């Protein structure tokens, strides 16, 4: 593993472009594409139920529940490939994870809007391990208060690992913008540790 520090004020991010070998990344992409029970979650925006522009799946320990637009989501159990990845990451990142959110971006029109993973249930300074498989997408970070700081941009590649920790969620928002470029389908896994209940959704 070769985690490179990407220096940003008020936060800590680390990136390993080659966390998984090409062969491993291909294998996990294929397995996860087929095995997960992908759902299109709905969120409430201005009193209207709208589908989020991507598919998702939530897996974890039975008590790692989270609240999503007023719905208490029960995690699906760990599958063997998810557990394998979790164990490997826990060793490498020296953190304990009890859940993983998978997002599947079918094409360039699937996206995730600006948000921070700062829900109360993730605790004060969460460490989030984000593994990317499939088509490369732009990942942007912007500081919540210091408007003079330029956004930070990364291209999250097939098999790469991004770690966000320290104060990152407190001071920065991130997003996966839509793109008109033709892009392959992408799956992202964010391994997390739920410490208490109560949360809000990402737009």
Ligand X SMILES: O=C(O)CCC(=O)C(=O)O
Spell out the SS3 assignment of 93-156: HCCCCCEEEEEEECCCCCCEEEECCCCHHHCCCCCEEEEEEECCEEEEEEECCCCCCCCEEEEE
Give Rg (Cα) of the chain.
16
Contact between 117 and Mn ion by CB under 5 A: the answer reads: yes
From the list Mn ion, ligand X, none, partner contacted by residue 56 (C-beta under 5 to 8 A by kind): none
Site for ligand X contains 32 (CB under 6 A): no
Residue 108 CB, nearest distance to ligand X (Å)? 13
The Cβ-side half-sphere exposure at 189, using a 13 Å CA radius, reads 28
User: Does residue 111 contact residue 105 with C-beta atoms inside 8 Å?
Assistant: yes
Minimum distance from residue 75 beta carbon to ligand X (Å): 14
What is the pattern of x (binds ligand X, CB under 6 A) and - over residues 41-70?
------------------------------
Kindly determine how many residues on this chain lie close enough to bind ligand X according to the rule CB under 6 A: 13
Q: How far is the CB of 137 from ligand X (least distance, A)?
A: 7
Which candidate, 56, 76, 96, 89, places its Cα nearest to that of 176? 56
For position 174 contacting ligand X by CB under 6 A, the verdict is yes
52 binding partner (options ligand X, Mn ion, none; Cβ < 5 to 8 Å by kind): none
Subset of 69-128 contacting ligand X (CB under 6 A)? 101, 103, 112, 117
Instruction: Tell me which of 32, 52, 190, 194 binds ligand X, using CB under 6 A.
Output: 190
Q: Is 139 in the site for ligand X (CB under 6 A)?
A: yes
Structure tokens at 77: 């159990």
130 contacts ligand X (rule: CB under 6 A):
yes
C-alpha–C-alpha distance, residues 144 and 151, integer Å: 10
- Would you give the DSSP letter of residue 201? -
Binding-site ranges for Mn ion (CB under 5 A): 117
């Amino acid at each position: 593993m070769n985690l490179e520090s990407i220096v940003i004020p008020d936060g800590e991010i680390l990136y390993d472009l080659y966390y998984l070998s090409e062969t491993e990344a291909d294998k996990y992409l294929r397995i996860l594409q087929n095995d997960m029970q992908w759902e299109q979650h709905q969120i409430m925006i201005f009193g209207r139920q709208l589908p989020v522009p991507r598919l998702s799946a939530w897996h974890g320990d039975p008590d790692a529940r989270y609240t999503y637009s007023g719905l208490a989501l029960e995690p699906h159990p760990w599958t063997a490939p998810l557990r394998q990845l979790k164990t490997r990451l826990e060793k490498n990142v020296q953190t304990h994870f009890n859940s993983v959110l998978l997002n599947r971006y079918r094409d360039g029109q699937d996206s995730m809007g600006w948000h921070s993973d700062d829900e109360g249930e993730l605790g004060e300074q969460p460490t989030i391990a984000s593994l990317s498989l499939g088509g490369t997408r732009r990942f942007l970070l912007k500081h919540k208060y210091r408007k003079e700081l330029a956004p930070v941009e990364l291209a999250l590649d097939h098999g790469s690992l991004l770690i966000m920790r320290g104060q990152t969620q407190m001071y920065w928002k991130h997003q996966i913008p839509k793109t008109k470029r033709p892009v392959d389908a992408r799956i992202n896994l964010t391994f997390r540790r739920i410490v208490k209940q109560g949360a809000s959704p990402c737009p």
